[in-house]
């Protein structure tokens, strides 16, 4: 009987252990299910009638269904940032010579202002005068004290005008030159009579015509001024060759050469005093001729089109002869020579239009039309 009670007690202990184990398993499964059912998932369906930019509400969960929660879409910000537009001219850095005029220049013109960051030691002691300024133009004089442009005080000038206000060909009679940023400038000679005008360079940038000039200046003087106005500094300014190679030499011991360099064609005249350079319009044939009657031979350049230009040379200079009326480089189509007025001097004539060239001074000539057939006269060049 005692053995029976022992067996019954063992069976009861076994049954109790099995029930406890099943409750723990149920508890673990319930925990796992609860964890997976709270996973967040974004909604992929837009609700009808919602305004753009509003978050979608959570979808309703039916009783007894899985307890998946729908995450609302992030709200889209419609805030905009306002950027203030400033006048670039107000922060322009220029040479100190221009500081006294900058406030008026910035206030009254709408053009992009072009002034040198550094202008060079040769301008020390000069002042800048704002001669005129409006919305579409400005003009500045560099001179001694406050200068209104008179030849006694003027040293140079800087001008700008909107291209729409130009009624002339800015390239006519100018000699092309390379400028920074693949720009092309045009050089115009100074003319000296009772007074001297500026030799200047003109170019177009952003529909504005800019020009810089220096009184009675040659191209190699004005070219650094133009580069500094565009770039701000004087770096990489083209310079003329410093020697003649393969040049023609007349009896007076001077040599001359047409020399292309960095997209500029130079006329070089070499003597024991050094090399003098003048920019010309391009490739040309060079001849020597006394064109002003001083018994010293000067230079005639003839280009491919048969047009000739005259240059007076001396040991220290080579300068183009200019037309007295237009102050542009004198051009002759078919050069002839002869004493047409019986004064004992040989004149230069243009057989194309029958014009006689009479020198007002060594650098200027007047053109007077002849009636006679000048083609019967001999050519000046051999």
Using DSSP's 3-state secondary structure scheme, residue 36 falls into: helix
Distance CA 39, CA 70 (A): 9
- Domain-by-domain residue ranges, the chain? 88-231, 255-376
Which of the four pLDDT bands, split at 50, 70 and 90, describes residue 257? very high
Query: Is residue 81's pLDDT more than 60?
Result: no
Distance CA 94, CA 116 (A): 6
* pLDDT at res. 70: 54
Query: Is residue 13's pLDDT more than 50?
Result: no
- DSSP letters, 39-91, are -EEE---PPTTPPTTPPPPPPP--TTS--PEEEPPPPPP----------GGGG
**251 vs 135: which has the higher pLDDT:** 135
**193 vs 97: which has the higher pLDDT:** 97
Quick one: tokens of 108? 């009254």
Quick one: tokens of 299? 């230079």
Name every residue whose Cβ is closer than 8 Å to that of residue 362 and which is 6 or more positions away in sequence.
292, 294, 312
CB half-sphere exposure, 13, CA atoms < 13 A: 6
Summarised one tens digit per residue, pLDDT across range 191-223 is: 877 788 899 999 999 899 999 999 988 888 899
> Do 220 and 242 contact (CB within 8 A), yes or no?
no
* pLDDT at res. 110: 93
Quick one: tokens of 378? 């001999």
Query: Is residue 79's pLDDT more than 60?
Result: no
> Do 121 and 230 contact (CB within 8 A), yes or no?
no
Strand arrangement of the beta sheet that strand 127-134 belongs to? 127-134, 137-143, 154-162, 208-215, 198-205, 183-188, 175-179
> Do 294 and 252 contact (CB within 8 A), yes or no?
no
Query: What mean pLDDT comes out for the span 255-279?
Result: 91
* Average pLDDT of the residues of the chain: 78
> Do 375 and 351 contact (CB within 8 A), yes or no?
yes
Query: What mean pLDDT comes out for the span 140-168?
Result: 91
Query: What mean pLDDT comes out for the span 359-368?
Result: 87
């Amino acid at each position: 009987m005692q053995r029976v009670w022992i067996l019954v007690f063992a069976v009861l202990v076994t049954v109790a252990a099995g029930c406890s184990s099943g409750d723990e398993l149920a508890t673990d499964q319930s925990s796992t299910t609860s964890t997976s059912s709270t996973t967040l998932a974004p909604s992929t369906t837009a609700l009808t009638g919602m305004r753009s930019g509003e978050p979608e509400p959570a979808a309703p969960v039916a009783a007894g269904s899985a307890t998946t929660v729908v995450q609302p879409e992030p709200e889209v910000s419609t805030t905009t940032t306002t950027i203030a537009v400033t006048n670039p001219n107000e922060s322009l850095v220029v040479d100190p010579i221009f500081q006294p005029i900058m406030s008026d220049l910035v206030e009254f013109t709408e053009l992009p202002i072009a002034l040198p960051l550094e202008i060079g030691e040769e301008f020390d002691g000069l002042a800048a005068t704002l001669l005129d300024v409006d919305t579409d133009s400005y003009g500045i004089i560099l001179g001694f004290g406050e200068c209104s442009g008179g030849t006694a005080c003027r040293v140079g000038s800087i001008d700008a005008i909107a291209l729409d206000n130009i009624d002339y060909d800015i390239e006519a009679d100018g000699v092309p030159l390379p400028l920074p940023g693949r720009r092309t400038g045009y050089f115009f000679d100074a003319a000296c009579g009772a007074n001297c005008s500026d030799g200047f360079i003109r170019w177009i940038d952003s529909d504005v015509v800019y020009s810089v000039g220096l009184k009675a200046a040659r191209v190699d003087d004005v070219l650094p001024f133009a580069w500094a106005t565009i770039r701000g500094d004087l770096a990489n300014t083209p310079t003329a060759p410093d020697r003649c190679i393969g040049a023609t030499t007349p009896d007076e011991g001077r040599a001359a050469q047409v020399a292309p360099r960095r997209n500029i064609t130079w006329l070089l005249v070499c003597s024991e005093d050094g090399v003098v350079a003048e920019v010309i319009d391009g490739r040309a044939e060079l001849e020597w001729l006394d064109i002003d009657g001083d018994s010293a031979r000067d230079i005639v350049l003839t280009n491919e089109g048969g047009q000739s230009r005259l240059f007076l040379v001396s040991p220290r200079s080579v300068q183009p002869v200019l037309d007295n009326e237009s102050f542009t480089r004198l051009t002759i189509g078919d050069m002839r020579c002869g004493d047409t007025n019986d004064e004992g001097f040989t004149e230069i004539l243009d057989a194309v239009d029958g014009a006689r060239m009479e020198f007002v001074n060594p650098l200027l000539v007047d053109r007077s039309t002849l009636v006679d057939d000048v083609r019967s006269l001999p050519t000046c060049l051999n």
